[in-house]
Amino acid sequence: MINSVRWCGILVILTASANALPPVIVPTNLQTNNISGYFSPTAMINNIQKNGNYIFGQVTGGAFILDTNNNQLSTHNFIGGGNLAGFGNNRVYGADRYVDLSSRNETLLSLANPPSKLNSFGISGANGNRVYGSYMSDQINPTTGMRMPYSENFFGVVNSNNTINWTTAPSTDSGGSYYFKSIFGNFAYGSYMEYDPIKNPNSTTKGLIYDLTSGNKTLLDVPSTFGSRIEAMSDNLIFGSYEYVVSNGSGGSGPGAPGRVLETRGYVYDGVNFFTLAFNDPTAADGYDYASLRSVSADGSEVVVSTGSNGQYIVGQVPEPSALSLLAVGLGGLAMMRRRRS
């Protein structure tokens, strides 16, 4: 049922290409696992995340948890289509609850001091006892007097009594819009779209790190790219994705310009340098596969990638950065980062 192929690769860092995209880095000690035997042939596997001996992910029709030997499978179908979101202490958070990794039992959570007329809430990112999510409530339209649905994003801390102390997460500021993916330690991460029609007519996104204590934001801009996001963080590496313009086409300059062709690739950032994440592919023109990265997550210096088809996910080792680690400089400072603060 489970097919595993292990091999040791060689870290490959090439000189930058003519369009100055980040040089290629190839993870080593790759392990490719196939768990398609657990699901229907048409099931698409998404959002694989790994923490120690456990892996979770989303599949068509639900979510699953298994250990790194692909055993102890449990599936979970949450009301409203909620998905597993992140690891805590011997638990996985998702929807409005957490799943105990030992027993696989589900425990419901609640918002402490919930907003009035609360309808529902869901967790979409988690790390330790910190969570990120959104809630739905009803508000009265001051003009019509009618009740109308209202949604808000929040950051929270899960208490021992299974309540969540929460604060509203920012959605916009004077410079742009926030799009949070998840949390790592005291930081939320994701992407940020700037408002600057003069300097940035295409409104490209930048990777975002948001300090949950100070509210400061740090923006990562992968050189020579059309836009970038942060997909995962660990103690010493940042993993993300970027887009670059393969062809500009003609007829305009905005993101939807006729003929514009974009390609999405993954990247790794070690606090000083960006690298393009790729796998060896002898059938490709340049010898690398960039596209088979349906989702990217991290467990320390391991990268976990789901290809989205055939029930496969890949785990590989990214070598320790040769310069400063993010842990050493502190994510609040990131003095070596190409960044802007506000």
pLDDT band at 260 (very low <50, low <70, confident <90, very high): low
The amino acid at residue 215 is: G
Evaluate whether 122 touches 115 at the Cβ level (below 8 Å): no
pLDDT at 40: 73
Mean pLDDT score across all residues of the chain: 79
Evaluate whether 172 touches 160 at the Cβ level (below 8 Å): no
Q: 203's torsion region: left (phi>0), alpha (psi -120 to 50) or beta?
A: left
pLDDT band at 72 (very low <50, low <70, confident <90, very high): confident
Give CA–CA dist 332/340, Å, rounded. Answer: 12
Strand partners, 58: 46, 63
| pTM for the model | 0.82
Q: Which has the minimum average pLDDT: 32-36, 103-107, 113-117, 200-204?
A: 200-204
Evaluate whether 146 touches 140 at the Cβ level (below 8 Å): yes
Whether residue 200 is predicted with pLDDT greater than 70 in this model: the reply is: no
Give CA–CA dist 227/211, Å, rounded. Answer: 22
Give CA–CA dist 233/173, Å, rounded. Answer: 24
**What distance, in Å, lies between the first and last C-alpha atoms of the chain?**
51
Q: Which residue has the tokens 């808000």?
A: 152
pLDDT band at 61 (very low <50, low <70, confident <90, very high): low
Whether residue 163 is predicted with pLDDT greater than 60 in this model: the reply is: yes
Task: Express as a percent the part of the chain with pLDDT over 90.
Answer: 35
Give CA–CA dist 292/74, Å, rounded. Answer: 26
pLDDT at 1: 31
Give CA–CA dist 61/218, Å, rounded. Answer: 36
Cα dihedral 110/114/115/118 (nearest 10): 40
Q: 217 exposed, middle or buried (CB, 10 Å; 0-12, 13-18, 19+)?
A: buried
Strand partners, 211: 187
pLDDT band at 7 (very low <50, low <70, confident <90, very high): very low
Q: Which residue has the tokens 């948890």?
A: 65
Report pLDDT digits (tens) over 97-148: 999 999 999 999 999 999 888 899 999 999 999 999 999 988 777 777 677 7
pLDDT at 205: 87
State whether residue 45 is helix, strand or coil. Answer: strand
State whether residue 163 is helix, strand or coil. Answer: strand
